[in-house]
Structure 1
Amino acid sequence: MSSDAKSNQFSIADPPSDAISSIQFSPHAGSHKLVVSSWDKHAYIYELSQGKSCTQVAKFEHAAPVLDACFGEDDNVIYTAGLDMSVIRIDVSNGETQVMSTHTSGVKSVVYSKQHNILVSAAWDSTLHIHHGGVPGESDQRPAKIELPSKPHALDLSTTKLVVVMASRALYIYELSSLSQALKSSAGQSPAVLKTEPWQHRESSLKFMTRAVSCMPNDEGYATSSIEGRVAVEWFDPSNDSQARKYAFKCHRQPVDDVDVVYPVNSIAFHPIHGTFATGGGDGVVAIWDAVAKRRIRIYPKLASSIAGLSFSSDGKYLATAISPGFEDGKDELAEGTVGVYLRELGENEVKRKAK
């Protein structure tokens, strides 16, 4: 374990004006663009150039706070979701927007699979909406919905799987190919309610509310985190041998006056090349973990407020970190410097697994 200096980390000059709800590097090869969503009712696009500066290149106002955003089929398309109950497609090049679908409650999460051209949104009305990507109206494909047993807290997807974590410790894993086929079969039906069963039903290994989920880049499993300072690592393979490998561990705990204070783990992000992962907590700390060796590799200096989101660039060279007050201290106002986005240039071996 070691702690790094801040010399290879810098903050962007014009962050959102209110709490940040999500941050994501573009998954497309060669891109260093970021999409950031905020409670200030905007989605922002930033671009990192030459690893030294990150500038805002676009922002898009919404009718209500934006809770999540992701890139679409290329860097010119983003999808957003939020408290206006809508899932919106935005053409970054000209600012044109189209509503993909409307839920009956706030939309917590949105993810896009380029491999299957599927957009999935999860809302507090306890539904998933499944959409084909692309411009609405170009085909007769309409969004379909899946009814969930409880409110979804977070979504993530790998190349073949969609993981949905919900209240009451429920966790569903869907095969994206099955969702795609079911969506095609429902074409023309209105409203289309997909009866597709999850590939797997699971109960979360975490006893307290799940805050985040992130899938492994090798498509073998996922990690979840909770409000009670724990992370669980699990594998998709349902065999007994594979399931015996799953484990959970404590993290993001700080001693205060001889008392071990527990913080929520708000974000998890896997490195796209090394398979290690980063966690960000309400303690303002980012840590790097080796999922195989079950140990912490690195911990970075504490930041000014709670970690709101993490994302690695597609080439694995940069880590983006968003901070916002988590209000763990009971204060509900935003102090200066407590909302921000940091970019860290990673050394060659900085987040690499240590040799045995």
Structure 2
Amino acid sequence: MSGFGSSMSGRPVDHVLPSPDTMDSTSSLNWSPVSNTLCSSSWDSHVRYWDVQVQPPAMGGGGQAQWHSVPKAESQGHTGPVLDTCYSADGRFIFSAGTDKQVRMWDLGSNSPNTTQVGSHDAPVRSVGFCQEKSLVVSGGWDKQLRFWDCRSPNPVGSFQLEERVYAMDVRGGVLAVALAGKKIVIFSLSGNIQQQMSMDSPLKYQSRCISVFPDQSGFAVGSIEGRCAIQYFQQKPGVAENFAFRCHRQDLNNKTESLVHSVNDISFHNYGTFSTVGGDGVVNFWDKDSKQRLKVMDPVGEAITCANFNAQGNMFAYAKSYDWSKGSGGYGGAGGGRNKICVHYTPEEEIKQRAKKKR
């Protein structure tokens, strides 16, 4: 895409969450919808969560945000890498999905680290989400199955046979967006009877890596391994820009005659409708899709960023520095040694609020 102008740059002193030195690559980050509690999933088979509080800098600038974070607990139950997590609507339960083919539930009110199995697949489970409209858990796996679970029943209450393996998934309100292998994207409506609403090819040329539904549920953003992101509307609206794609995680080389391409590892929408992308280049970008402007770019953190998420209030942005497996097992340096960090960035309004469209 053309015309994403840039604004603020630099990296303030972000808060590093206390975590065990043995923590492996982080695969997902999610905030509770009702509190400043952050959960993560890891390749070391654990789910962890923290209570995080921030005191904004004093008025007038020049100061730093003040942080207080407490590690609460880590789960037990998964027997392989955990690939995704989500919260229930009331924030009491964390649901997790992993390579052990299980979907598990952690009751945070039980004061126990033990989790309960609520579902399973015939292959690793890549993604899990919570459908608030139905009070159901939805999981997508590499067995090409999309399954819906009522935690009171051991059997799925609904399932869909998909064309390909699930690579990424996002649930927001009445919309479920699923990115599949083979560059396929499937959209489901969760209002009324759950049904497939549309199926399409990705607007990007290469494999999908992440997908995120707009806060107003009018479309979605999808990122790929080629360092590009696409903005796609379900229906074009009067006065709304057409669908477009743009480069976001690439480094220009040799006077911009060549590019070093990094995967777009995660996309997270702020409640303003602006959004972040993070990638294998270790860079965080904030964007405004409506005005087609880059709002902020942070300096590289020295390691790939595997996942990121805004809290419900919108004043905290969590991101994970971890190996993203882009170079296969040969690039893995092992857990420990402080390589894997989860950081939280204070997000003032001026960094993430929408901007007026630039005059042409």
TM-score band, normalised by shorter chain: 0.7 to 0.9
Deviation of 1:257 after TM superposition, in Å, equals 5.8
Question: Cα RMSD over matched residues?
Answer: 2.1
1:121 paired residue among 136, 139, 145: 139
5+ unaligned residues in a row in structure 2: which ranges? 1-6, 56-66
* Contact 2:119–2:155 under 8 Å retained in 1: no
Q: 1:1-356 alignment to 2 at 5 Å?
A: 1-7=7-13, 9-14=14-19, 17-28=23-34, 31-51=35-55, 52-61=67-76, 62-94=78-110, 95=112, 96-132=114-150, 135-137=151-153, 142-178=156-192, 181=193, 196=195, 198-237=196-235, 245-256=242-253, 259-272=258-271, 274-328=272-326, 331-334=331-334, 336-356=337-357
Structure 1 residues 205, 304: CA separation in 2 closer, same or farther (over 3 Å shift)?
Answer: same
Give me the whole-angstrom Cα distance separating, in 2, the residues matched to 1:82 and 1:70: 13
Residue 75 of structure 1, CA deviation: 2.1
Shift of 1:264: 0.3
SS at match of 1:305: coil
What code does the residue aligned with 1:70 have? Answer: C
**Distance of 2:331 and 2:254 partners within structure 1:** 20
Partners of 1:337 and 1:92 in 2: how far apart?
27
Contact 1:309–1:321 (Cα < 8 Å) also in 2: yes
Structure 1 stretch 92-101 or stretch 143-152: which is displaced more? Answer: 92-101
Contact 2:266 2:306 in 1 (8 A): yes
Percent same amino acid at aligned positions?
31
Work out the CA distance in 2 between the residues paired with 1:17 and 1:231: 30
Q: Distance in 2 between matches of 1:141 and 1:175?
A: 22
* Matched residue count: 331
Tell me the alpha carbon deviations over residues 160-212 of structure 1, each in whole angstroms, 9 at most, x when there is no partner. 1100110112111110124xx35xxxxxxxxxxxxx4x111111101100000
Q: What secondary structure is seen at the aligned counterpart in 1 of 2:332?
A: coil
Runs of 5+ unmatched residues, structure 1: 183-195
- Does the aligned pair in 2 maintain the 1:58–1:92 contact within 8 Å? no
Q: Normalised by the size of structure 2, how large is the TM-score?
A: 0.86
Q: TM-score, normalised by structure 1?
A: 0.87
CA contact (8 A) 1:235 1:242 kept: no
Aligned-pair distance for 1:5? 3.4
| 1:301 to partner: Cα distance | 1.6
The corresponding residue for 2:3 is none
Partner of 1:185 in structure 2?
none
How far apart, CA to CA, are the structure 1 residues paired with 2:280 and 2:73? 29
CA positional deviation for 1:85:
0.3
User: What is the CA distance between 1:143 and its match in structure 2?
Assistant: 3.3
SS at the partner of 1:326? coil
Q: Is the 8 A contact 1:229 1:265 kept in 2?
A: yes
Deviation at 1:142, TM superposition (A): 4.2
